[in-house]
Structure 1
Amino acid sequence: MSNRVVEGRMVTSETLAEMIEGERPMEATEIEDADRECPECGGNVISVGYMPSVTAFVTGYKCQDCDWSEKEDQ
């Protein structure tokens, strides 16, 4: 499992998903580079796929430098 630094602290994929969703996910995939810049600060954006519930899968995006985040339901 890969850890990344987000807003100055080391996070796991589950912790990153929790930052985006607001609650701990059931399961989360590996953290990946999103190949885009943050629309607020221009920082690097990373992504993580996670299951907030049994019937849903979400891809979340989070800036590594500021509190911007976004999610896409699939």
Structure 2
Amino acid sequence: MSENRVVQGRMVTRKSLAELIEGESVMDAEPIEDADRDCPECGGDVLEVGYMPSVTAFVTGWKCQECDWAETDRE
């Protein structure tokens, strides 16, 4: 299966998806997975990606494929 996915009409890689969620560049990202949830804003499909915004942090982020909604597990 291709690593790239379509989000809001654009093709994203695991790293560019993580950067969409984070709002800035990230060091590394894990493969994109389908999250077992629907978007709370539009009901669309949600993708999940784990990534490292820095050498000391690991964050799991979620992004809707249809709208601007995104969140992370960061406290």
TM-score normalised to structure 2 length: 0.94
Could you tell me which runs of 5 or more consecutive residues in structure 1 were left unpaired when the two chains were aligned: none
Q: Which residue of 1 aligns with 2:8?
A: 7
Task: Spell out the pairing of 1:1-74 with structure 2 (5 A cutoff).
Answer: 2-73=3-74
Which letter does structure 1 place at the counterpart of 2:16? T
The separation in 2 between residues aligned to 1:52 and 1:33, in whole angstroms, is 21
In structure 1, give the amino acid aligned to 2:48. Answer: S
Divergent runs of 4+, >6 A: none
Report if aligned partners of 1:56, 1:73 keep a CA contact under 8 Å in 2.
no
Query: SS of the residue aligned with 1:73?
Result: coil
TM-score (norm 1): 0.96
* Equivalences, count: 74
